Every structure is written in structure tokens, then in C-alpha cells.
Amino acid sequence: MRIPGKKRSLEPDDVGNRAGLFAESVRDGNMDLAWSLLSKETKGMRMGVWATKNNINMQDAYQAGYDSGHPMRISMMEDFRTTVLGMWPLEDLTDLGVSPTNYIDDVHAFVFLPFGVTQDNSRVHERRMMSGLVIPMILEDHSWQVDMPTWRYLYNNDHDMHHN
């Protein structure tokens, strides 16, 4: 799959590092950190899905999403981790590299984290077919956040990137 957008640098940047931090926090089970790296839209979507699936009042889901001491928080975070690991198997989240970020525009970007990259070779320069994670990112309140709704750009065959 071709990742949309253009590279602005040959080196990984802060956007890629934040995407990598997200993947590592999921792998290590640090779900409060992973949750803090999500965009507002992604959090809202996850809270809604979790509430609907478990027949939980949306107000309770919202409180669990924003209060790390809420009694339902653990259940919500376990569901979130299970969901992510359903897309990305845990054993694949080791030895992740970071490649240069692809920017769609100044607020949307994609980061490719290749698998099986050893520490001394954490940067990927040559273009070759590699398996890895493609993580969509959005700039929100001066911070790059993981934005699952941005996946729509990957499946948009015409290169028309405006919002619907």
C-alpha cells in the first residue's frame, strides 16, 4: 500500500517519535500513555464503541475516558488495548524502526514504523518492501496525536484530500 503524502525530511522527526511512543506504550501495556496520545476524535470514537458494546451509559464512558481514577477506566483501557492488538499483533511491536514522516498537509501525516529493525539500524533509508505499522497522525493543540479516523485517506483512491 502506498502511503499518501510527501516526505519533508530524510530523517525521522517528532511526529514519527510520537507514533513510535504510541506503539511502544500499547506493547508495554502502558494504556494511559497510549490513550493520552490519541486525538480527540479517536478518543470519542473509542468511548462510543466501548459504551455501545458493553451497554454502558455514554456519560459514564466519557468520565472513564477522562478520569484515570474512574472505576470503569481499567475495563475501557483493556478493551482499547485488545482493539489495537487486533490490528497489530503484540509480537510484531518489537524492534520497531521509524521512517521519515509523510505529510498530507500541515495537520495530517502518516508514519511508517517498520518491523524487525535492530537498535543499531533504527533508521530506514533505502526504499524497499517492508512490513510494519502505518500510523495516521493529526496536529491538535500544537501536539501530534494518533488519529484513527485519518485511515480514510489510505483508502481514498483519487488524490482529493479535502474534508467531506
pLDDT of residue 155: 54
How high is the mean pLDDT of the chain? 84
Residues 101-136: tens digit of each pLDDT = 999 999 999 999 887 775 544 455 455 556 788 899
Residue 141, Ramachandran bin (φ over 0: left; ψ between -120 and 50: alpha; else beta) = left
Helix residue spans in the chain (DSSP H): 14-27, 31-36, 40-53, 58-66, 73-87
Indicate the range of 8-22, 48-62, 86-100 predicted with least confidence: 86-100
- Residue, of 15 and 89, whose pLDDT is higher: 15
Residues 30-67: tens digit of each pLDDT = 999 999 999 999 999 999 999 999 999 999 999 999 99
CATH architecture of 1-155: Roll (3.10)
Asked whether the whole model's pTM tops 0.75, one would answer yes
Residue 109's contacts (CB-CB under 8 Å, 6 or more residues apart) are 5, 15, 101, 102, 103, 136, 137, 138, 139, 144
Cα angle value 157/162/164 (rounded, 5°) = 90
> Locate cell 476524535: which residue?
41
How is the chain split into domains, by residue range?
A: 1-155
pLDDT of residue 62: 96
Handedness of CA 29, 31, 32, 34 (dihedral sign): positive
Q: Strand ranges (DSSP E) for 57-163?
A: 102-103, 108-114, 132-140, 143-146
Beta bridge partners of 133: 113
Q: Is 126 helix (H, G, I), strand (E, B) or coil?
A: coil
Distance (Å, whole) CA 84 – CA 91: 13
Q: What is the mean pLDDT of residues 75-102?
A: 85
